Amino acid sequence: MPVPVEIFYDLSSPWTRIAFANLRRDAGHPEAEIRWRPFLVGGVFNAVNQTVYAARANAQDPKFRLSWVWLKEWAELAGVAMNFPSVHHPAKSVHAMRFCCALADDQPRLVAFTEAAFEAYFTDQRNIDDPAELARIADECGLDGAALAERAASQPVKDLLRANTQEAIDRGAFGSPTMFVGGRYMYFGNDQLPLVRQRIRLLARQG
């Protein structure tokens, strides 16, 4: 039986854009069953990780400055564009993540929209906080943008985003992407993907 891998993610995170590309290469791996779970990383920061805002405020911090260099190198290694930051950074991603939640029960379409939205934000510097722009992105990847926008604005979808965010907080998340392997082993960030793969192999062997 494939090992379940839950990935809580937010479209506004550049590191998640890189992790998404790397994880997509593993999507067909027979040992893992990946489920993408949209959440609001700003809600996580506000609840448990407000130091993120302090770090952003100090642009001269050497770790902060070097993180932008490393970000571009990780993106190059993953083979994705990283035309970032843009005038829309940091994005208020609530509308974008509601669009994702509206697709949560159809994982192939969610993945298609997620990939298109990452490309729009991190390559083309489009505004993913604008519902009209999100609808256009949906149209471009073969979805019905108007219908998706209407569903994204519904109360059940808003409730799902809140629930996913609270669940991630309750399970110990502090950023995006947060990954749970086998329901209990938590990992964070693109750089921990080797640990994710290792844990999948271990659990698969255990049956």
Tens digit of pLDDT for each residue in 81-112?
999 888 888 788 999 999 999 999 999 999 99
As for how many domains the chain has, the answer is 1
Tell me the three state secondary structure of residue 161. helix
Query: H or E stretch including 156?
Result: helix 155-170
Give CA–CA dist 138/135, Å, rounded.
Answer: 5
Mean of pLDDT over the chain: 92
Cα 13 to its chain centre, rounded Å, is 6
The tens digit of pLDDT for each residue in 44-53 reads 988 986 666 4
The pLDDT tens digits along the chain (207 residues) read: 899 999 999 999 999 999 999 998 876 567 899 999 999 999 998 898 666 645 565 666 777 778 889 999 999 999 999 998 888 887 889 999 999 999 999 999 999 999 999 999 999 999 999 999 999 999 999 999 999 999 999 999 999 999 999 999 999 999 999 999 999 999 999 999 999 999 999 999 997
pLDDT at 190: 96
Residue 161 lies in domain:
3-206
CB half-sphere exposure, 5, CA atoms < 13 A: 30
pLDDT at 57: 57
pLDDT at 58: 64
pLDDT at 59: 64
Give CA–CA dist 158/151, Å, rounded.
Answer: 10
Q: What is the CATH number of the domain that holds 64?
A: 3.40.30.10
pLDDT at 160: 98
User: pTM to 2 decimals?
Assistant: 0.93
Q: Give the strands of the sheet with 32-38, arranged side by side.
A: 32-38, 3-9, 178-181, 185-188
pLDDT at 27: 62
Beta-strand (E) ranges in 21-144?
32-38
pLDDT at 1: 85
Q: Are 113 and 98 in contact (CB under 8 A)?
A: no
CB half-sphere exposure, 159, CA atoms < 13 A: 3
145 burial class (0-12, 13-18, 19+ CB within 10 angstroms)?
buried
